[in-house]
Amino acid sequence: MLVAMQFWDEEQTANDNRFLPQRHRSLPIAQSVTPIANYPTKLRIFQTNASRYWQVRCYLRGKTYTQSLKTTNKQAAISQAKHFFHIKTAELYGEHIQVKEDTVPLFKDIVPATLAQQQARVDRNDLTALSLSILRSRLHNYILPFFGSMALEKINYQHLSNFVAFLTKKGQSTTSIQQNLVATRKVFNYALGLNLIRNLPKFPNITIKQHPRGSFTVAEYLKLVRTAWRLTGTRIPSSITGKSRRGENNLEHYAIVSKDMAWLIRFMINSFMRPSDIKFLQHKHVTVVRAKHIYLRLNLPETKKHDKPIVTLQAAVYVYERLLAWQVSQGFGGADDYVFLPHQSNRDLVLETYRWQFNFIMQQAGIGKNASNGQNRTLYSLRHSSMTFRLLYGRKVDLLTLARNARTSVEMVEKFYSSNLNAEMNIDLLQGLRD
């Protein structure tokens, strides 16, 4: 049974502290001590008078581990504390698993070692750190709460089917359900390799329902840019930002349309980038090329097993150089500075901020969230529009070239990006003659 960590009593009479020894600056501030929801009670974050950064403390295997989280943002600290916990448990329990002959291993017993195995893949560049982070998240959020206390060898097709029903009730899409089953299978595969189970259970088959994102027309895109410029500095109402602005961490400061939002819209349209890439894009990743063609070469960190540079359209060069000049005037623009919202260290908050801004801009531009295909339009729809525009207006660009440059596959282009195209859109090509 987990025993909660004991922290110092904050209840003192008004003048008692003047007669007591001075509290050491490195000790936790009692009011700041915060347990992490759904994690062991021995995992907590706290602040001290010795540092402006949040700290994490965890008690494992008879030893207390403490580490600075290098952030002043509480939500970021909570996220990093979870990461710290998973890494530390993998280090301590992942080297080998000892199971007594008369003991049946539980599902949760195998998870730390499975994560350690996946970490080893990251270390030898067989797996991205992002993929490992996603795996940890799936295991913690849904899989462990459902299977954790079950005997591994007793889990069968019926249990797995019940898990699918559980995820369905949680509102998970068929894609998310399938991804959770894949993560579950990794634990079983590792246990099978250790001869802890004799066979893999049969897994339910999930039919994936594809829902291509909506895109924008050229006219809508131009209207978005104009509206973004007009709204620069405007506060975003709480009806847009929602619950994320409420609670103990007030994010009001970030609910304003930033000056670089219009540049972001134009940059994404002309670079094929995902929003998740935007938040990590630094100036050192960008090279301006002026040769026969003018473009940006984007050497982004690996995403989804793609590590080749992205080549932008020429318009992206103009956008980038204007943005860079403005940032230099603000004291940014160095090689390690981020291209967008460089002053914000919490890069997850960057993406959330841009989503607020984009939804607000769509609303004010009179552009509905639903596209002609009935699908919702989000910040990601800019990438969708970028690909669609190339298919419509590019000079006979082939799918393989487009897919590789956008760090995706031909299958994904056909399935998600060309789905909105119809014959009338390409009437010139259909009726045209060879040169």
Sign of the dihedral defined by the CA atoms of residues 353, 358, 360, 361, in that order: positive
Condensed to tens digits (0 to 9), the pLDDT of residues 386-421 reads 888 887 776 666 666 666 766 665 555 555 555 554
Residues 110 and 256 reside in one and the same domain: no
Q: What is the DSSP string of 398-428?
A: -HHHHHHHTTS-HHHIIIIISTT--GGGGHH
Residues 403 and 293 reside in one and the same domain: yes
Residues 73 and 155 reside in one and the same domain: no
Work out the mean pLDDT of the chain and round it to a whole number: 78
Residues 47 and 106 reside in one and the same domain: no
The pLDDT of residue 102 is 44
**Rounded to 5°, angle at Cα 251 from 249 and 256:** 175
Residues of the chain with pLDDT under 70: 1-24, 38, 86-87, 89-104, 208-213, 242-254, 302-307, 371-374, 394-403, 405-435
The Cα 348–Cα 73 span in angstroms is 11
Is residue 34 assigned to a domain?
yes
Give the ranges where 97-248 is alpha helix by DSSP (H): 107-123, 129-138, 144-147, 157-169, 174-193, 218-230, 238-241
Q: Considering only CA atoms, which of 359, 270, 281, 273 is closest in space to residue 319?
A: 270
User: Coil, strand or helix: which one is 308?
Assistant: coil
Residues 121 and 250 reside in one and the same domain: no
CATH code at position 173: 1.10.150.130
Residues 61 and 182 reside in one and the same domain: no
Residues 353 and 405 reside in one and the same domain: yes
Residues 233 and 180 reside in one and the same domain: no
H/E element holding 316? helix 315-329
Is residue 238 assigned to a domain?
yes
Is residue 109 assigned to a domain?
yes
Is residue 11 assigned to a domain?
no
The pLDDT of residue 387 is 80
Is residue 65 assigned to a domain?
yes
Is residue 408 assigned to a domain?
yes
The pLDDT of residue 358 is 94
The pLDDT of residue 425 is 45
Task: Identify residue 386 by its one-letter amino acid code.
Answer: S
Helices 157-169, 174-193: inter-axial angle, 10-degree rounding: 150
The pLDDT of residue 15 is 36
Residues 151 and 230 reside in one and the same domain: no
Residues 76 and 105 reside in one and the same domain: no
Condensed to tens digits (0 to 9), the pLDDT of residues 157-202 reads 999 999 999 999 988 888 889 999 999 999 999 888 877 888 899 9
Is residue 47 assigned to a domain?
yes
Let me know: does 394 contact 413? Beta carbons within 8 Å. no
Q: Phi/psi at 404 (nearest 5 deg)?
A: -65, -40
Q: Phi/psi at 102 (nearest 5 deg)?
A: -95, 10
Residues 326 and 395 reside in one and the same domain: yes
The Cα 418–Cα 391 span in angstroms is 7
pTM for this structure? 0.55
| Exposed / middle / buried, residue 104 (Cβ in 10 Å: 0-12, 13-18, 19+) | middle
Residues 101 and 236 reside in one and the same domain: no
CATH code at position 333: 1.10.443.10
Structural domain harbouring 165: 94-193
The Cα 285–Cα 169 span in angstroms is 42
Is residue 75 assigned to a domain?
yes
The pLDDT of residue 24 is 67
Q: What percent of the chain has pLDDT over 90?
A: 32
Let me know: does 373 contact 214? Beta carbons within 8 Å. yes
For residue 108, CA distances in Å to 133, 145, 296 come to: 18, 9, 47
The Cα 67–Cα 81 span in angstroms is 9
Neighbours of 308 (CB within 10 A): 11
Structural domains of the chain, count? 3
